[in-house]
Amino acid sequence: MDALLPSLLFYAFAGVILGSAAFTAFARDIVHAAFSLLFTFFGLACLYLYLGADFVGLSQVVIYVGGILVLLLFGVMFTGHQTQETEKRTVNFYWGLALIALLGAGMVPALLKAPWAVKSAAELPEAKSTISSIATLLMTDYLLPFEIASLLLLMALIGAVVIARGETKTDEGESPETSA
């Protein structure tokens, strides 16, 4: 029972992730595809939690599910409902297949050769909250990378605003779309 339940849970999460990811890739309707991505992100968050990474797991939900995917759906919703535009079309099917085969040929042997560090439950350190250690590391050893990453995000943000606004004009009353 001790070993069965964890592995059962793991396979359930993995099944959800793979299934929803496949649906995202193959669904014809683009909103259905985006919605299915919700389950992929959520499943990933569950796996993180399952690994004892509580902070990473919940950040995954807050950032990807609560932020990025909402914006993605937001964009998709402007494309209208069940028209030709919301259907995905397959382009370069055979080239894509060849690329997958090539990548697979590289990855599968690497996966087979990799030394997996399998440990039994008894060998693992006791599960603790990772938040304070992450915070300490970010504010001490990794302060510079942390700040550089935030600078990069700020640049992207300003860039997005500049591109979205086009030429700066004198119009004072901005439209709700740009401020959203």
Among 100, 102, 131, 149, binds other proteins (CB under 8 A): 131
Is the separation of the CB atoms in 34 and 69 below 8 Å?
yes
CB nearer other proteins, residue 78 or residue 93: 78
Rounded Cα distance, 42 and 69, in Å: 11
Nearest 5 degrees, angle CA 42-CA 11-CA 61? Answer: 10
* CA neighbor of 55 nearest in space, from 137, 176, 170: 137
Is the separation of the CB atoms in 73 and 35 below 8 Å?
yes
CB nearer other proteins, residue 21 or residue 61: 61
Q: Interface mask (CB under 8 A) for other proteins, residues 58-77, using x and -? A: xx-xx--xxx--xx-xx--x
Q: Does 35 participate in binding other proteins (rule CB under 8 A)?
A: yes
For 22, 59, 75, the CA distances from 56, given in Å and listed in that order, are 24, 5, 26
Q: Does 31 participate in binding other proteins (rule CB under 8 A)?
A: yes
Is the separation of the CB atoms in 62 and 41 below 8 Å?
no
Is the separation of the CB atoms in 86 and 75 below 8 Å?
no
Instruction: Give the shortest CB-50-to-other proteins separation in angstroms.
Output: 13
Q: Does 125 participate in binding other proteins (rule CB under 8 A)?
A: no
Instruction: Give the shortest CB-70-to-other proteins separation in angstroms.
Output: 6
* Part in contact with other proteins (CB under 8 A); list of ranges 107-115, 138-146, 155-163, 169-177: 169-177
Indicate the DSSP class of residue 1.
-
Instruction: Give the shortest CB-151-to-other proteins separation in angstroms.
Output: 17
29 DSSP β-pair partners: 87
Instruction: Give the shortest CB-110-to-other proteins separation in angstroms.
Output: 34
Q: By the criterion CB under 8 A, which residues form the site for other proteins?
A: 1-2, 29, 31-32, 35, 38, 45, 54-55, 58-59, 61-62, 65-67, 70-71, 73-74, 77, 81-82, 129, 131, 173-174, 176, 179-180
